[in-house]
Structures are given as structure tokens and as C-alpha cells.
């Protein structure tokens, strides 16, 4: 049965195939999209030119392969070529009002400007992530569970990224945040077969339980082995050995994060996906005796299979067959274990196990999105522009602000510098997180991480949505104190300015008890040249 997208939120429409197309013309678009996707899959398998590939989005591809989406979630884009509904809902802190954020065009990308306008005088959280399939398996903020108190919604502006040439927002999960739907339609239960993927990030992770997306218990509690079937992405090594530093794509099948039937990794080449800023993580499971894990760079290349084999045989069994309950979880474990960090851009769940050819076609489509691509604007303090910040002090005119081991430092960057160094020295200007009249600086290669001061020293940290972080990460441009360039006053310490001192970066006053407040060369040290970005 083709599971085509709905086009309005309130209406509940029957899945296509239960109505006559001639009587219900609104389904004709979905049928044509599925046919287009079939052309794409055939092109992959028999070598036909892929002129139609751009029209087929992930759920079109999976439908044409006979494994339709039963859930399709994204804050970034449509996952069906014919989808024209809302992607997610935000709630404004100032008055509690809500707004649905839709698309710029049918089958296109999120209208982030609508979010910016609605939230401009306040802050917003994401309250609902809509399911684009006809199943309406919408995710809302998760309630209390066996291992965690009720969650809170993620800040709506914490993860600005470029996708499809547009500025959009991903979902940045910090501890205590999570989403869930315990009353779903079409999701596998009791050993049913299913597949799922998500686009996440290898730069925003930790080793706490559990950044999951997929099938979970319906009561927010751990009800035993095999009662989950979800992708996990993080650095928690449940069964030793794990190779490398991670983060790894693992299967959370309850009471264990599995890289194989024995739990531990049997693949020494699987050292993890860090620090890739965008990662495709994929799990498929026949629910009986076989599961497979795949991963890939969501910006380029193909998928790699890290495991394909039998269900787990450890922990006293219970995994053959699985006992899925059919809830959908995002950002936490099945019992609401909610200590994890994670990023989510898009993800789907299917009915049945997709073919490898369909997985490959979906990965190709994900790569075509251009996650994290250049913004197209450079060298200015206009929000969305990519820049590098160069010191103007006579000693240090080839030194630029960069991050290194999370700290902000200045070091020489030249045309012969490594790609990593150039990326570390490139920042995206964002509207000030605490004031739209000021600016914040997002890392180019660590999406969702911003420059903020802590104990007066500048660091690169993920935005957690708190008022303190917003204030610490906001800087107000002024004419350079030395008469050249630009100086940046701290939003919450307005007499302190971004300053380089002994190769580190601080918010510093002109004189004071701290070494970095020295009046010597202060005006030069707090004056910066806003230049074109080093990263392409």
C-alpha cells in the first residue's frame, strides 16, 4: 500500500489505495510521485539515466520499493515530493502562542523566515514534529517515564543550518529534552519488519543514554528485552569492545545498544562517525532473526554497512523474535532515559525492510540536499554571512579566531593551512541569540555550536536554549576601538569586548585585576577585521 503524504494538518485521509483515484483526485499527485520514484529505483538497478531522480524524495523512493513510510519527520524539508503541509510547530515564550512552520514550496524546504518572524521578540521551543505520512504519527514533547521526568521542548533556534541553499533549523537535543508518540498507526509491532534512518550530527553527542529514533514502548517504561527497535547514535559503548572514539550507529533493542548479535562490535573498521557534522544513520530489522546497521556521510559518498546478521543472543535472550510495541521516540531511550545530546534533521520509518538499492537512492538524495553548504553570503556582519575574524594588532595580523579543543584561540591561518584549520577559523554570523540587534557566531564545522564566554574566556559550545547561554553568546558590534575594524561588546558585560591575549580570546575590560584586562594595546587587541571566510 502506498503511504502518500497528507497536505493539510487537520484532515485525516485514508491511505491511498482505499479510494478510487478518479473520485479522489487529490491522491493523483501522490500516485505520480510514486511512479516517479519507481523510475528512480529502476534507474539505480538497470542503469537508466536518472533524469527524474530529483523529483523523488526519500518516502517516494521507499514507497516505490514496496516499503512505504509509516512515519516521516523533518524540521528541514519535505520527505515526499507532493507534501505541502506543516513540518513542525513552535510555541512562543512571551504569550504561549503557537505557529505551524511549513514549506517554501510543495516538496521543498522549511520556511525558516516564518519562524524567525514569529519568534523575533521572544524565544520559541519546538512543541510538535509533524508526520508527513497519512499515518499522522506526530511527535510531541515526551512525558515522564521510568527513568526520567517529563521532558521539555528543544529551543527552536538552536541549530541553524543551510540545506538546499536555504537557511533552516534542525532539532538540537540537550539532556531533559525528548519527543514521543505512544499511539501510532502502521508502526511494526510483535516482530514485524521495519526500516528507519535519521540524519544526525557527529559533532553534538555524548555517552549518556539515549539519543534514539525509532520504535519504543507505549508506556514510557522498560518492559523487557526486544521491546524496542530504534537507531541509537552516541559514544556510549554498552558492550565492550567498541573500536575508535565513536559516535557509533547502534541498535537500541532495549537493555542494550547493539553493534552485533553479541552486542559488542565485530567490525574493527567501525571506529565511529565523528566528527562528521552530518551523518546518515540507518537500521533495518526483520523482527525475527536479522538486523543491519549502516552509516554514511550525509554530505557526500555512499552508505557503509557495519553489521548485517542475526538478532542478539545475549542478556538472556528475548530478541528472537522482537516484541516491538510501536511507539515512536526521538531523543531519549524507551523509558525516557534523557541524558543524551543529539541533533536531528530528518528521519523516516518504513513498513517492511527496504532494499539496499532503495537505501542507496535515499542516501543519494540526502547528499543532494547539501547539508551545511556555504550560505552564499560572505565577509559581512549580516546574519547568514560566513566570515573569519582577523586580529589587527601589529604583532598578529595573520592571526584569526578559531576553535581548538573547544577553546577559542588565535593562530596564523594562511592559504597553505590545512582544511581543518580553515574550517575551524570560519564562523557563520547569526542574529544575536539574546538580541536581534547584535550577533552570535556559529561554528562552520560544528553545527549548533556557538562562541560564548564562560569565566570571561571564549569557548565553542552547543546552544542549550538557556537565557544564560543566549546572553553569553551574544556580541554587539561597534566601530573598532583603535579606529579601525570592528569591536564586539559582550551583551551581558557591555564594558567588556572580545580580545585576544596570549593567544586566547576573552571578554576583557580596559584595565582591571585580570591579566587579560591589561590596558596595554587594549584598543588594538579588541579591534577585529571582518574578512572573507577561510572555509570554502
Is residue 8 domain-resident?
Answer: no
Answer yes or no: do 76 and 153 share one domain.
Answer: yes
CB atoms within 10 A of CB 113: 12
8 has a pLDDT exceeding 70: no
Three-class SS string for 94-158?
CCCCEEEECECCCCCEECHHHHHHHCCCCCEEEEEECCCECCCCCEEECCCCCCCCCCECCECCC
Q: What percent of the chain has pLDDT over 90?
A: 90
Q: What is the pLDDT of residue 22?
A: 31
Residues 6+ apart with CB under 8 A from 25: none
CB atoms within 10 A of CB 299: 17
Sign of CA dihedral 15, 16, 17, 20: positive
Provide the number of structural domains found in the chain: 2
Closest CA to 248 of 258, 257, 235: 235
Q: Which of 39-53, 384-398, 420-434 has the lowest mean pLDDT?
A: 39-53
Q: Work out the mean pLDDT of the chain and round it to a whole number.
A: 91
Answer yes or no: do 424 and 327 share one domain.
Answer: no
| Annotated catalytic residue, options 131, 335, 386, 421 | 335
Answer yes or no: do 80 and 185 share one domain.
Answer: yes
Model confidence at 410, in pLDDT bands (50, 70, 90)?
very high
Q: Rounded CA gap, 370 and 224, in Å?
A: 40
Helix (H, G, I), strand (E, B) or coil at 366: helix
Residues 6+ apart with CB under 8 A from 481: 487, 497, 522, 523, 526, 527
CATH number, residue 483: 2.80.10.50
Q: Rounded CA gap, 127 and 507, in Å?
A: 35
Helix (H, G, I), strand (E, B) or coil at 516: helix
Q: Rounded CA gap, 120 and 473, in Å?
A: 17
Phi, psi of 201 (to 5 degrees): -135, 140
Q: What percent of the chain has pLDDT over 70?
A: 90
Model confidence at 55, in pLDDT bands (50, 70, 90)?
confident
Across 131-150, average pLDDT: 98
Between helix 28-46 and helix 356-368 the angle, nearest 10°, is 110
10 Å CB burial of residue 185 (0-12, 13-18, 19+) is middle
Q: Which residues of 246-279 are buried (b: 16+ CB within 10 A; e: fewer)?
A: bbbbbbbbbbbbbbbbebbbeeeebebbbbbbbb
Q: What is the pLDDT of residue 254?
A: 98
Q: Rounded CA gap, 293 and 303, in Å?
A: 10
Answer yes or no: do 351 and 480 share one domain.
Answer: no
Is residue 18 domain-resident?
Answer: no
Residues 342-355: tens digit of each pLDDT: 999 999 999 999 99
Answer yes or no: do 349 and 441 share one domain.
Answer: no
Q: Rounded CA gap, 373 and 421, in Å?
A: 18
Answer yes or no: do 218 and 189 share one domain.
Answer: yes
Pairing of strands 179-181, 291-297: unpaired
Residues 61-108: tens digit of each pLDDT: 999 999 999 999 999 999 999 999 999 999 999 999 999 999 999 999
Instruction: Clarify whether 346 is annotated catalytic.
Output: no
49 has a pLDDT exceeding 50: no
Is residue 513 domain-resident?
Answer: yes
**Phi/psi zone of residue 68: left (φ > 0), alpha (ψ -120 to 50 degrees), beta?**
beta
Residues 296-307: tens digit of each pLDDT: 999 999 999 999
522 has a pLDDT exceeding 60: yes
Q: What is the pLDDT of residue 211?
A: 98
Domain finish residue from 318, 340, 368:
368
508 has a pLDDT exceeding 60: yes
Sign of CA dihedral 447, 453, 458, 461: negative
Q: Which of 26-40, 203-217, 358-372, 518-532 has the lowest mean pLDDT?
A: 26-40
Is residue 375 domain-resident?
Answer: no
Answer yes or no: do 394 and 354 share one domain.
Answer: no
Answer yes or no: do 401 and 319 share one domain.
Answer: no
**Phi/psi zone of residue 197: left (φ > 0), alpha (ψ -120 to 50 degrees), beta?**
beta
Q: Rounded CA gap, 19 and 168, in Å?
A: 36
Is residue 329 domain-resident?
Answer: yes
- In the block, cell 518572524 appears at 117
Is residue 299 domain-resident?
Answer: yes
Domain holding 189, by residue range, is: 25-368
Instruction: Clarify whether 254 is annotated catalytic.
Output: yes
Residues 257-296: tens digit of each pLDDT: 999 999 999 999 999 999 999 999 999 999 999 999 999 9
| Annotated catalytic residue, options 60, 138, 222, 254 | 254
Answer yes or no: do 125 and 248 share one domain.
Answer: yes
Q: What is the pLDDT of residue 7?
A: 41
191, three cell numbers: 516482530
Across 128-135, average pLDDT: 98
Is residue 378 domain-resident?
Answer: no
Answer yes or no: do 353 and 407 share one domain.
Answer: no
Across 124-142, average pLDDT: 98
Q: Mind giving me the DSSP string for 393-425?
A: SGGGTTEEEEEETTEEEEEE--TTS-HHHHHHT
Answer yes or no: do 303 and 226 share one domain.
Answer: yes
Q: Rounded CA gap, 283 and 469, in Å?
A: 35
Residues 314-328: tens digit of each pLDDT: 999 999 999 999 999
Q: Is-contact 341 173, C-beta < 8 A?
A: yes
CATH number, residue 215: 2.60.120.200
Q: Is-contact 174 206, C-beta < 8 A?
A: no
Is residue 144 domain-resident?
Answer: yes
3-state helix, strand, coil in the chain (%, to 5): 15, 30, 55
Answer yes or no: do 472 and 324 share one domain.
Answer: no
Residues 6+ apart with CB under 8 A from 327: 180, 181, 182, 183, 184, 187, 215, 216, 217, 218, 334
Q: Is-contact 176 187, C-beta < 8 A?
A: no
Across 153-159, average pLDDT: 98
Q: Which of 32-41, 334-343, 373-382 has the lowest mean pLDDT?
A: 32-41
Amino acid at each position: 500500500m502506498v503511504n502518500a503524504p497528507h497536505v493539510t494538518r487537520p484532515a485525516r485521509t485514508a491511505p491511498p489505495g482505499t479510494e478510487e483515484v478518479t473520485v479522489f483526485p487529490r491522491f493523483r499527485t501522490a500516485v505520480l510521485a510514486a511512479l516517479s520514484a519507481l523510475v528512480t529505483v529502476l534507474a539505480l538497478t538497470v542503469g537508466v539515466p536518472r533524469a527524474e531522480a530529483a523529483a523523488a524524495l526519500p518516502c517516494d523512493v521507499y514507497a516505490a520499493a514496496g516499503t512505504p513510510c509509516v512515519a516521516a519527520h523533518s524540521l528541514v524539508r519535505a520527505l515526499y515530493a507532493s507534501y505541502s503541509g506543516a513540518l513542525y510547530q513552535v510555541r512562543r515564550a512571551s504569550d504561549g502562542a503557537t505557529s505551524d512552520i511549513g514549506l517554501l514550496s510543495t516538496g521543498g524546504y522549511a520556511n525558516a523566515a516564518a519562524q524567525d518572524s514569529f519568534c523575533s521578540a521572544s524565544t520559541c521551543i519546538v512543541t510538535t514534529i509533524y508526520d508527513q505520512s497519512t499515518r499522522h504519527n506526530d511527535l510531541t514533547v515526551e512525558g515522564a517515564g521510568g527513568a526520567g521526568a517529563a521532558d521539555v521542548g528543544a529551543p527552536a533556534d538552536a541549530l541553524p543550518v543551510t540545506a538546499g541553499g536555504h537557511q533552516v533549523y534542525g532539532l538540537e537535543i540537550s539532556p531533559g529534552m525528548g519527543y514521543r508518540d505512544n499511539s501510532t498507526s502502521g508502526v511494526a509491532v510483535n516482530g514485524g519488519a521495519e526500516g528507519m534512518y535519521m540524519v544526525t550530527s557527529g559533532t553534538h553527542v555524548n555517552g549518556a543514554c539515549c539519543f534514539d529514533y525509532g520504535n519504543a514502548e507505549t508506556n514510557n517504561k522498560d518492559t523487557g528485552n526486544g521491546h524496542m527497535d530504534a537507531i541509537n547514535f552516541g559514544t556510549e559503548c554498552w558492550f565492550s569492545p567498541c573500536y575508535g572514539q565513536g559516535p557509533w550507529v547502534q541498535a537500541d533493542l532495549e537493555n542494550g545498544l547493539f553493534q552485533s548479535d553479541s552486542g559488542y562490535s565485530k567490525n574493527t573498521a567501525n571506529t565511529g562517525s565523528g566528527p562528521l557534522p552530518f551523518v546518515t544513520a540507518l537500521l533495518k530489522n526483520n523482527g525475527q532473526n536479522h538486523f543491519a546497521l549502516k552509516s554514511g556521510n550525509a554530505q557526500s559518498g555512499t552508505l557503509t554497512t557495519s553489521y548485517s546478521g542475526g538478532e542478539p543472543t545475549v542478556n538472556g535472550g528475548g530478541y528472537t523474535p522482537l516484541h516491538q510495541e510501536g511507539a515512536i521516540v526521538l531523543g531519549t531511550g524507551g523509558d525516557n532515559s534523557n541524558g543524551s545530546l543529539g541533533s536531528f534533521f530528518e528521519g523516516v520509518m518504513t513498513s517492511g525492510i527496504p532494499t539496499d538499492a532503495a537505501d542507496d537512492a535515499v542516501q543519494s538524495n540526502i547528499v543532494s540536499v547539501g547539508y551545511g553548504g556555504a550560505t552564499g553570503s560572505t565577509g559581512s556582519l549580516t546574519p547568514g554571512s560566513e566570515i573569519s575574524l582577523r586580529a589587527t594588532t601589529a604583532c598578529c595580523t595573520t592571526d584569526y579566531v578559531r576553535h581548538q579543543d573547544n577553546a577559542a584561540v588565535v593562530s596564523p591561518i594562511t592559504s597553505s593551512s590545512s582544511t581543518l584549520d580553515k574550517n575551524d577559523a570560519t564562523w557563520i554570523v547569526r542574529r544575536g541569540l539574546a538580541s536581534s540587534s547584535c550577533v552570535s557566531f556559529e561554528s562552520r564545522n560544528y553545527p549548533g555550536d556557538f562562541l560564548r564566554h564562560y569565566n570571561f574566556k571564549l569557548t565553542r559550545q552547543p546552544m542549550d536554549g538557556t537565557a544564560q547561554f543566549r546572553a553569553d553568546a551574544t556580541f554587539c558590534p561597534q566601530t573598532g576601538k583603535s579606529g579601525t575594524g570592528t569591536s564586539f561588546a559582550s551583551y551581558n558585560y557591555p564594558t567588556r569586548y572580545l580580545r585576544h591575549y596570549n593567544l586566547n580570546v576573552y571578554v576583557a575590560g580596559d584595565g582591571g585585576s585580570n591579566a587579560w584586562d591589561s590596558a596595554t594595546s587594549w584598543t588594538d587587541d579588541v579591534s577585529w577585521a571582518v574578512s572573507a571566510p577561510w572555509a570554502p
